[in-house]
Amino acid sequence: MKAAAREARKQQTPAERALWEVLRDHRCGVHFRRQAVRRPFRLDFYCARLRLAIEVDGSIHDEPDVQRRDADRQAILEHDKAIRFLRLTNDDVLKRPTETRQRILAALQTPQTDTL
């Protein structure tokens, strides 16, 4: 799984590359990892300290089967690992970068609840 995550970091989408420029090197005040493994899943971006995952969804995520899989995966991680999610679209990241950064900063300020 870690090898797959390493490979995915090399093959990021344009939206993932753009978002990484916003998140890398503590630019939002916290540390994020790209393609972070949280078994049995891999998250696009993850801040362990705040248990916040940011997922960048392309058009494939508009498909009903993919939406169900995403919802199931998110529910498991929210319940079992108390991970919070911020879902962004490619268009959010590429066409509305200022608003996207504001949404990220707001999510970082939202207190996490300990449900474990």
Q: Where are the domains of the chain?
A: 2-109
To the question of domain 2-109 being in CATH 3.40.50.12160, the answer is: no
Helix (H, G, I), strand (E, B) or coil at 66: helix
Give 1's pLDDT tier (boundaries 50, 70, 90).
low
Residue 9: pLDDT over 80: no
Dig out the tokens for 25 from the structure. Answer: 């090197």
Indicate the DSSP class of residue 63.
Answer: S
Q: Which of 19-28, 29-38, 103-112 has the lowest mean pLDDT?
A: 103-112
Q: What is the pLDDT of residue 26?
A: 93
The label of the residue with tokens 């993919």 reads 66
Contact between 19 and 91 under an 8 Å Cβ cutoff? The reply is no
Phi, psi of 63 (to 5 degrees): -70, 135
pLDDT, residue 33, reads 96
Q: What is d(CA 93, CA 12) in angstroms, rounded to the nearest whole number?
A: 13
- Give the pLDDT confidence of 49-100 residue by residue, as tens digits: 999 999 998 867 677 888 899 899 999 999 999 999 999 999 999 999 999 9
